A and B are shown apart, each in its own frame.
Chain A
Amino acid sequence: MTPPRLPQNRGLTAIDGAMALMVILLIVQVWLLSATLESFLAGHREAALPAVIISALLFLICLALYLFVDQVDAEVRRH
């Protein structure tokens, strides 16, 4: 029988999951920036606006994940 996990460990697991997701989103954002720059330098300026919209969306998800981590951190410390 496995012992029940402590709230602190559950919080760490949640934070680790959020961090992994953020790293994946960041990799996508880095790729997006380099592809947009390459496209811009090649004279395709029409790709800039969709790239900004997608990048803003990815940033908002990262921000939401950060706020989630902040909240989990606060809750675990309260207990």
Chain B
Amino acid sequence: MPWFRRPSSQPLWKDEFSILTADERYVNRRQLTKFLTLTSLGMLVGNLWILVRSWLYRAPVYPATPVARLDEVPVGSIKIFSYPGPREACILVRTSAESWVAYSQKCTHLSCAVYYARQANRLECPCHEGYFSLTDGHVLQGPPRRPLPRVLLERRGEALVAVGMDLGDKEA
């Protein structure tokens, strides 16, 4: 293929490791442009990977899981639980006698665990000072750009049951 032939008829080692200063400037630039082109290909592969992942995406099925009894979470206190999987920590905050909220405990910036700051009445990430609203999980300040995924709760008798996750844009 003529486009991809070597730029000269010299052996490869002479092309890539020229002993002439004038030629060396070309060699350096050609190698850098090759590196830049490969990096560009890497970016394209990254975008293709995201496209494949979005094609293969299936909406997860969230099980209904009891997460707490009402009497074990007094007003103003929290409970840490796992939902939907055992490795996905969430934080439940009881805001008043009849209201409670729960969010994924993973900060949407770099996945540090957020905690409930009672004085400020918000969820805070200690790593980079990302703050989230306790009302709906939206970002109040800091580097995170996405809201905290919200755990949908239902009261069944004296128990709180997690029934799904709201990722911030659409309910799943």
What is the minimal beta-carbon distance from B33 to any residue of chain A, in angstroms? Answer: 5
Chain A, 2-23, CB within 8 A of any chain B CB = 8, 11-12, 15-16, 18-19, 22-23
Candidates B26, B32, B57; contact of A76 at CB < 8 Å: B26
Cα(A19)–Cα(B167), bound, Å: 41
B41 contact set on A, CB distance < 8 A? 59
Q: Assess whether B12 is interfacial by the CB under 8 Å rule.
A: no
Instruction: Flag if B43 contacts A32 (CB, 8 Å).
Output: yes
Cα(A24)–Cα(B111), bound, Å: 31
Instruction: Flag if A22 contacts B54 (CB, 8 Å).
Output: no
What is the minimal beta-carbon distance from B118 to any residue of chain A, in angstroms? Answer: 28
What is the minimal beta-carbon distance from B32 to any residue of chain A, in angstroms? Answer: 6
Mark interface residues in B12-44 (1 if CB within 8 Å of A CB, else 0). 000000000011011001101110110111011
Q: Assess whether B156 is interfacial by the CB under 8 Å rule.
A: no
A49 contact set on B, CB distance < 8 A? 51
B29 contact set on A, CB distance < 8 A? 12, 15-16, 19, 69, 73
What is the minimal beta-carbon distance from B6 to any residue of chain A, in angstroms? Answer: 8
A16 contact set on B, CB distance < 8 A? 29
Instruction: Flag if B39 contacts A73 (CB, 8 Å).
Output: no
**Closest chain A residue to B52, Cβ basis:** A48
Given contacts A15-B29, A55-B47, contact A77 B40 (CB under 8 A): no
Instruction: Flag if A52 contacts B7 (CB, 8 Å).
Output: no
**Closest chain B residue to A56, Cβ basis:** B44
Chain B, 91-144, CB within 8 A of any chain A CB = 108
* 26 A-B residue pairs with CB within 8 Å: A12-B25, A12-B26, A15-B30, A16-B29, A19-B33, A19-B36, A22-B33, A33-B47, A38-B146, A42-B146, A45-B54, A48-B50, A48-B51, A51-B51, A52-B44, A52-B47, A52-B51, A55-B43, A59-B41, A59-B44, A65-B33, A69-B30, A69-B33, A73-B26, A76-B26, A77-B23
Binding site for B on A (CB under 8 A): 8, 11-12, 15-16, 18-19, 22-23, 25-26, 29-30, 32-33, 36-38, 40-45, 48-49, 51-52, 55-56, 58-59, 62-63, 65-67, 69-71, 73-74, 76-78
